[in-house]
Amino acid sequence: MDKVSEQYEAYPYPERNPADERKRLITGSPSHPLEMDHFLWGGKRDWSQPLRALVAGGGTGDALIQMAAVLTAAGRPYEITYLDLSRASRSIAEERAKVRGLTGIRFETGSLLDATNYGTFDYIDCCGVLHHLPEPQAGFDALARALAPEGGIGLMVYAPYGRSGVYPLQEAFGTMTEGMSPKVRLKTAKAVYEKLPDGHPFKRNPHLVDHEQSDAGFYDLLLHSQDRPYVIGDLIAALEAAGLAFVGAPQAGLYDPARFLPDGVTLPDGIDQAQRMALAERLDGTIKTHVIYAAPKDRVIPVPGKDMASVPHLKGVSGADLSREVARKGEITIARGSEKTRRTISRDVAPLLAGIDGRKPLSALAQAARLDPLAFNALWRPAERILVQAGILLYSRLLG
């Protein structure tokens, strides 16, 4: 058994207790159906048609459970294939699905490099896996081959700057624990970690917490034997080499360098989207993962929210709460870990936000506010841009 397989059999990641499914649903990006619809189908997917999805390298099941639970609650049909090399991880994912009573899931033990053996998919989730492959590009290529022409992928890979201090420790621990069993390796590394100076770059990095949350988290972060991070430019290049294109990011605002520019300063002419994103990543310095959506290069995706029949949703906040915040402050606070950013939004938008319930189209919001389309767009579009960039606003007809 190789070291990666040995790791996930001993310490399935992330650490999950199936019994917890009775009291909470873990949600996130990518692979929330609302988010998938927004970025991959312009908020216009026909959800009466079954979603054929692959969770490639599904681990202990976070993406699987989120997708299946949300679609089940919405009464939408789906067929999801879970695929992972770790039998221990698969067992936990299966039990989580069983506790929730989720059906429509096929569990398979195998490699994502063989994804086409399991069918062709409208959607593929691949989180925290590609950067652990011996040849990551082979993984990008395999997923692209398994994707339907009108499909898309949601993926996460590690980024280097926000993981400052991780890779020297991985190398050091790898050398020190060579030949040890996983349990002894973990015990040894934890003991050494306690003796590291407080000034070590890893200990001074406030953005990394997995090592404090569980043994599996410590092992995955600091004892992984195969871990290649991507700057955003290299990620976009890997997609392109596989015949895919970057189509959006839930936290798009992270990749906008304009947020760092002083008043009156603009970027030089000729900087394309990939260069802008790379510049923002270098200036930010805290991005530890890239969460993005991709689709076949030749796909044309409708612009989300472009027409008044589009249905807006708010993620992570209710329309009433967001409306009150905007009405009171004329701004919103965007939190990312310990970082907080404030963005100005017109107080006049508050009544529109209060009406968002995931079922009313933009036309209904405009009608309730007694705004004609021209007046509505003048008020709505600046706020929409801020909310979409923050990952708060999405368009989808999931709820009908």
What residue ranges do the domains of the chain occupy?
A: 3-158+230-296, 162-222, 312-395
The closest alpha carbon to 52, from 77, 83, 18, belongs to: 77
The closest alpha carbon to 17, from 50, 65, 55, belongs to: 65
Q: Three-state DSSP class for 264? A: coil
pTM of the entire predicted model = 0.96
Each residue's pLDDT expressed in tens, for the chain with a length of 400 residues: 689 999 999 999 999 999 999 999 999 999 999 999 999 999 999 999 999 999 999 999 999 999 999 999 999 999 999 999 999 999 999 999 999 999 999 999 999 999 999 999 999 999 999 999 999 999 999 999 999 999 999 999 999 999 999 999 999 999 999 999 999 999 999 999 999 999 999 999 999 999 999 999 999 999 999 999 999 999 999 999 999 999 999 999 999 999 999 999 999 999 999 999 999 999 999 999 999 999 999 999 999 999 999 999 999 999 999 999 999 999 998 887 767 888 999 999 999 999 999 999 999 999 999 999 999 999 999 999 999 999 999 999 999 8
Distance CA 372, CA 363 (A): 9
Q: Do you know the residue count of the chain?
A: 400
**Sequence letter at residue 59:** G
* CA 87, 159, 53, 309 torsion-angle sign: positive
Residue 292: CB atoms within 10 A of its CB come to 26
Neighbouring-strand partners of residue 105: 80
Neighbouring-strand partners of residue 52: 79
**Under the phi-then-psi rule, with left for phi > 0, alpha for psi from -120 to 50, and beta for the rest, what region is 165?**
left
Residue 372: CB atoms within 10 A of its CB come to 9
Residue 206: CB atoms within 10 A of its CB come to 10
Burial of 300: CB neighbours in 10 Å, binned 0-12, 13-18, 19+: exposed
- Within 8 A by CB and 6+ apart from 17, the residues are none
Distance CA 218, CA 279 (A): 31
Pair of tokens at residue 386 = 């801020």
Structurally, at CATH architecture level, domain 3-158+230-296 sits in: 3-Layer(aba) Sandwich (3.40)
Distance CA 154, CA 35 (A): 10
Q: Do the strands 244-248 and 105-109 form a parallel or antiparallel pair, or are they unpaired? A: unpaired
**Sequence letter at residue 314:** L
What burial letters (b/e) apply to 144-155, b meaning 16+ CB within 10 Å?
bebbeeebbbbb
**What CA–CA distances, in Å, run from 107 to 89, 97, 176, 183?**
11, 11, 37, 28
